[in-house]
Amino acid sequence: MAKVPFLSDAWLDLHRSLGAALPERSGARARVQHVVSGSPQGEVRYVHTVVDGRTAGLAFSADDEADVTFTNTYADAQALARGELDPSVLFMQGRTKMAGDMGKVLALMPVIRSGEHRELLETLSEQTDY
């Protein structure tokens, strides 16, 4: 099976499909904008919509109305996608910039820390060309 390029339309499609199959977690909902700086394409923005713990949408776009925005370097975004880095550690180290509603982030933590999400990252990583 051919791997999909990181931060490509095919990567978003794969991520969306895997995220839609996560177990339902009532109340875990947010529209999260990701800003990746320093990628080969320049700055990349995509919005990840989570409803009850599942991916309901994932698309390249900018969203000034997102509940929260995370900004990472390209290298850190790759490591996060591979599951090699904990997002909260990057935040505490000042490597991830966050703007928006911290309550929404906290509501997503049970999803992000779940075994199912770790499996999602593993599967995504196995099928991604970094």
Question: What residues in the chain have per-residue pLDDT under 70?
Answer: none
The pLDDT value given to residue 71: 97
- Say how far apart CA 29 and CA 4 lie, in whole Å: 27
Phi/psi of residue 11, each to 5°? Answer: -65, -45
Quote the pTM value.
0.94
- Say how far apart CA 98 and CA 104 lie, in whole Å: 12
Asked if 30 and 54 touch (Cβ cutoff 8 Å), the reply is: no
- Say how far apart CA 81 and CA 117 lie, in whole Å: 11
- Say how far apart CA 63 and CA 90 lie, in whole Å: 23
What are the residues facing 47 on neighbouring strands?
Answer: 33, 59
